[in-house]
Structures are given as structure tokens and as C-alpha cells.
Amino acid sequence: MFCSSGQKSQSVAELDFLHIHKSTIVPIEVKSGATGRLRSLHQYMDISKSNLAIRFYNGDVQIDEITSAKGKKYKLMSLPYFLVFQIDKYIDWYEEDESKNNN
């Protein structure tokens, strides 16, 4: 659990997992369906230096640009459940693609 400074105790949010990829902490949410609220993830991303979050769900691979309630823009990589053991491969793929697009 985490709680950013200034929040009341009833607004404590929970993430499902934190994954360490190289030296970066990547937050992970697991959702039971193709859609779902990501309130905890948005709150975490607002206080995180990371610009990538991952959601495992019942859907296709996709990457979306998300804006948190406080206005932080970040990328949400959505992956189907069965790719959980390929997480590092997909993060590497994302980082390589971002590097190509920024050059």
C-alpha cells in the first residue's frame, strides 16, 4: 500500500504488484475484465518517476497514453494474462520502440 503525503487514511490505495525491471520500478494492475477503473494506478503514477505502467487483463496487447487525475501523462501497456511470464520481454520491446521514436 502507499499513501501520498496529505491524503487521509481512507484514501489509501493499493497496487497489485510492483515489478523491478533493470533499475526501474514498474507498477502493475491486474483486472478481471477488459475494462476497469485504475484509480490506484493513477495515484501511484502521480507520485512516481516512472512513465510506464502495466495492466494485465482479458484483452489484446495495446499501449495507451493515459492522463492521471492530477494531469500526469504516462503510458499504460495492457497485456493479456497469458503474457505475465513475458513481462520483461515486453518492457524491453516498449523501451526499444520509444528509443527509436525519440531519435
Q: Does residue 49 lie in a domain region? A: yes
The candidate with the shortest Cα–Cα distance to 27, out of 42, 8, 37, 12, is 42
Q: Does residue 2 lie in a domain region? A: no
Q: How far apart are CA 74 and CA 12, in angstroms?
A: 21
The mean per-residue pLDDT over the stretch 52-69 comes to: 93
Where do runs of H (alpha helix) occur along 1-103? 39-47, 87-101
User: Domain span at residue 41?
Assistant: 14-101
Q: Does residue 36 lie in a domain region? A: yes
More confident residue, 38 or 79: 79
pLDDT of residue 10: 52
Q: Does residue 74 lie in a domain region? A: yes
- How many helices (H) and strands (E) would you count in the chain? 2, 5
- pLDDT tens by residue, 72-88: 999 999 999 999 999 99
How many separate domains does the chain show? Answer: 1
Q: Does residue 4 lie in a domain region? A: no
Q: Does residue 65 lie in a domain region? A: yes
Q: How far apart are CA 84 and CA 103, in angstroms?
A: 30
Q: Does residue 9 lie in a domain region? A: no
CB 54 within 8 A of CB 62: no
Task: Return mean pLDDT, the chain.
Answer: 86
